Amino acid sequence: MCRIRFFNVQEIDHEYGYCYGYNKVSKNLILGNRKKLKNSNGMVFGVPGSGKSFQKKMEMGQVLCFSNDDIVVIDPMSEYKGIAEKWNGQYINLSQSAENVFYINPFHVPEHVPDKDRFIAEKAEFAYAICEQALKPADLTSRHIAVIDRAIRHMYDEYFKTYEGTKPRRRSKLACPTIRLMREYLQEHEMDNESARELIDQLEVFTDGTLDIFAREQSTSEENRFTVYGFSELGKRMRAMAMLVMIESITSKIKYNQSSGIATWVYVDEIHELWGDEYSLHAIERMWREVRKRGGICTGMSQNLVDALRNRATKTIVSNSEFMMILDQGVMDREILSELFTVSNEQINCVNGAEPGTGLIRFSDKIVPFSNKVASDNGLYKLFNTNFHEMVGNGG
């Protein structure tokens, strides 16, 4: 039970704020504008079923209604399909089945590349991550990295050379580098190198056959303000790869399209799936850091705050997120949380065993106990609900 009488009254009441429920101390509405924060990125923590996705769906609805901003959701559990349909969004299901019609090429070159050297260096970095995934459980070594560097540099140098020599109106038709092309380069030029041969072997499943969805030319998609990438049908190995590819292509989208002056809200559900892997973690850290100045507003949803604080890199992500929602945490230590910000025992009581849709909300230095519960006969509840028994009318 959350005892609230010991709280100092703090209000979150920004101009053009979205509604995040009501303040349990003052009973006023919480109207917060994440764009007003120094760093708009955010995290939502809570045990499964505590209402993380529900809270974020409420925010997404407001972004769509009250702004011109775009939303991209990474949806590993395929639970945003209904919302995408209802809100005229685009649901892209990345699947290994033959019916799949949508391909994302992480090596795709956008129309406008302001700094080629930096672009190539970033793609090399990304290629390490992909190869690390492909090699697992074996490790990526400095020898592999040297091989990958050569391949990436060669592919992009060739591409940009051809690009320069092509008439401008034909340039958009040029074939971009792909993972498949990288493997072919290794086959042609590096067969006497043992590390290269390992990469060639391990990359095969990702370039030929059912796991090749990231190894082809990019599909063009119609512009839509609300895009959801679902990949619940992908196997475990492919999921980590999919997360990486998604983050890479979303970062590019934000970066290279910022000129239109539109902010992009990026939601990564079940972000902890990425945290165990060094390169995925690095990719997220980079996205969190880089997109801020380019109109990106990232939100991660994860289960356990304490786990996130144990690792240096995840801790950096958390402490760089000025927006935070902490929902039910089971039982959490005050000491651990107080490393991050000042909290009282009463505030901790609001997140230990909290009901779904209640907890603590933080906007920069303000931390407020909130409730944002929606009645079960409300239309939004029906749309956002993930409780299987309730959905099938089984008395849940």
Ligand X SMILES: Nc1ncnc2c1ncn2[C@@H]1O[C@H](COP(=O)(O)OP(=O)(O)O)[C@@H](O)[C@H]1O
Which parts of this chain interact with ligand X (CB under 6 A)?
46, 48-54, 356-357, 372-374, 385-387
> What span, in angstroms and rounded, lies between the C-alpha atoms of 241 and 201?
17
CA dist 128 and 105 (Å) reads: 16
Judged by beta carbon, residue 75 or residue 212, the one nearer ligand X is 75
Pair 275, 268: CB distance under 8 Å:
no
Q: Which is nearer to ligand X, 32 or 295 (CB)?
A: 32
For residues 264 and 284, what is the distance between their CA atoms, to the nearest angstrom? Answer: 16
Report the first-to-last Cα separation within the chain, whole angstroms: 23
Q: Who's near 35: CB < 8 A, 6+ residues apart?
A: 263, 297
Contact by Cβ (8 Å): 73, 267: yes
Smallest separation, CB 373 to ligand X (Å): 4
> Nearer to ligand X by C-beta: 321 or 372?
372
Q: Which residues share a beta bridge with 326?
A: 45, 360
| Least distance CB 52 / Mg ion (angstroms) | 5
Site for Mg ion in 5-34 (CB under 5 A): none
Least separation in angstroms between CB 372 and ligand X? 5
How near is the Cβ of 340 to ligand X at its closest, in Å?
Answer: 20
Indicate the residue among 55 and 321 with the shorter CB distance to Mg ion.
Answer: 55
Please tell me whether residue 55 binds Mg ion under the rule CB under 5 A. no
Find out whether 134 and 179 touch, Cβ atoms under 8 Å.
no
Cis-peptide into 168, omega within 30 deg = no
Query: Which one of the spans 53-61, 231-239, 246-254, 362-370 is the region binding Mg ion (CB under 5 A)?
Result: 53-61
How far apart CA 107 and CA 252 sit, in angstroms, is 10
Q: Does 207 bind Mg ion (CB under 5 A)?
A: no
* Choices 46-54, 101-109, 240-248, 291-299; region in contact with Mg ion by CB under 5 A: 46-54
87 binds, options ligand X, Mg ion, none, Cβ within 5 to 8 A by partner type:
none
Residue 352 or residue 386: which is nearer to ligand X going by CB? 386
Smallest gap from Cβ 368 to ligand X, in A, equals: 16
DSSP-derived letter for residue 227 is E
Report the residue number, 56 or 225, with the smaller CB distance to ligand X. 56
Taking the complex as a whole, the smallest distance from the CB of residue 53 to Mg ion amounts, in Å, to: 3
54's contact among ligand X, Mg ion, none, with CB below 5 to 8 A by partner kind, is ligand X
Report residue 382 CA to chain centroid gap. Answer: 25
162 sits in which H/E element: helix 142-164
Which structure tokens are listed for 389? 């028994």
* Residue 231 CB, nearest approach to ligand X (Å): 17
3-state DSSP call for residue 103? coil
**32 or 357, CB closer to ligand X?**
357
Kindly list the residues in this chain that would bind Mg ion in the complex (CB under 5 A). 53
